[in-house]
Structure formats: C-alpha cells, structure tokens
Amino acid sequence: MRTKTLVCAAALIAAGVASSMAQSNVFSLNVVGYVNTKLVGGGAYNMVANPLNNSNNNITNIFQNVPDGSSIFRWDPTVSDFQSTTYTYAAGAHVWDNGSGNFSGFILNPGEGIFFINNGGSDITNTFVGDVIQGSYTNSLVGGGSYNGIGSSAPLGGSFTNSIAGLAAADGDTVDRWDVVAQDLDGNTPTYDAVHAVWSSDAIVAPGEGFFYIRNGGNVQWIRNFTVQ
C-alpha cells in the first residue's frame, strides 16, 4: 500500500469537500487508495484477498488487464476445499467464464481470500482500487477446524495480527500462509494459546495477500473496526 498516496488522497478529498461540508449535513469522508499486488505467472497459484471496497467488487472490475486464460478458484470453508466452479478470463470480451455460459463473475468481498492463477507466463501486478473501509465491518468464519480463506479488509501489511485485528481467537486457532514459490503452505503455523493470550510465532503478510485461518473454536463473526487517523 502506498501510504503517502493514501494520505495525499485523503488530504485532497478533504480539501475538495470542506466547503460543501460546511454548508450541508454531510459529515462523512471517504479515503480512497490503491494496493499493488504481485501475481506470479507460469500457472502458479497465488492466494490473494480484496483489501479495499470498490463501488463494484465484481471480479470483472477488480481483476482487469490480466492475461487471457487466467483462472480464479473460490474457497469454500464449509468443506475446506475449492468450490466446483472455476472462473476463466477471456481477455477479448473482458469477461470471466464459469464454464456454463455465465459471464457475470462474482462479488469478491473485502477480506475474502481466493486463489488466482496467471497462465500468461510472466508475472503481473494487479492494482486494487477503492475506499478504505472505516468503522465496523463483519466477516463470517466457519469453526470446527475449518480452513477459512481470508485477508485483511484494510490495506495493511506486516504481522498477520494486523490483518486479523478484531478477530476473537480461540485456543488452538492457527494461521497458514501460502508460499507461491513452493506452491504449498509455508510450514510456519502460528497457533493461539488462550491461556497466555499469545500466538506461538509471527508471520508477515503483504497488503492484498490471502491466507488460511483455521478456526479451532466455533463459528465466529469477525467484527473489525478500523479508522484512518
């Protein structure tokens, strides 16, 4: 996330609406930003997540100018496996085909993790554009040891605990990052110790990166409150 750009964008928006806010009852202020996320090519699986809220969160709008034949696999936490539908990109028509003649794509909610395959050979950079979600935002996680594909619903990187802020961890919950180079889980699985309220290890994630949260406890509503200061 380009922090300076985000701050400048907020300043420009504030300057542009200051006079109108003074003469109206509108007191909200959107902060617009962008996140550049590298997608490795050559048929590699990349685990990504939507870190911003666009006015149109459909994959047709979020993933533009990607190589022809690229694919998206959506994760189903209720069975801890991919959904049966694969979405394949037709660059000429700029549509995602689900294999059944349906080109409507699907809504990728902020904080939802998916797998993206760039079959174009070379690495590309996808740019997510949209509003930074401020205030309360909720994602539902499935418990009982289920793998949930998630990511930060705010454009934050660093320790994975930044990404899962507001999530009430249960004893034995774990986190698994996807290693795009090895095309496998990275082997570092931070585990939550509820007695001491600590994670066993750290893991660094980038803005726009998806990862697995294995919920050992029951189903939970992950309510995040985030505000740009």
**Which pLDDT score is estimated for 29?**
59
Q: What is the dihedral of CA 6, 8, 9, 13, to 10 degrees?
A: 140
Using alpha carbons, select from 120, 103, 122 the residue that is nearest to residue 69.
120
**Which pLDDT score is estimated for 199?**
98
Q: Which residues of the chain fall below pLDDT 50?
A: 1-28
Cα gap 91→139, rounded to integer Å: 31
Cα gap 6→159, rounded to integer Å: 20
71-108 pLDDT, tens per residue? 999 999 999 999 999 999 999 999 999 999 899 999 99
**Which pLDDT score is estimated for 73?**
97
The secondary structure element, H or E, covering residue 53 is: none
**Which pLDDT score is estimated for 120?**
81
Cα gap 15→11, rounded to integer Å: 6
Region of residue 161 (left: phi > 0; alpha: psi -120 to 50; beta: else): alpha
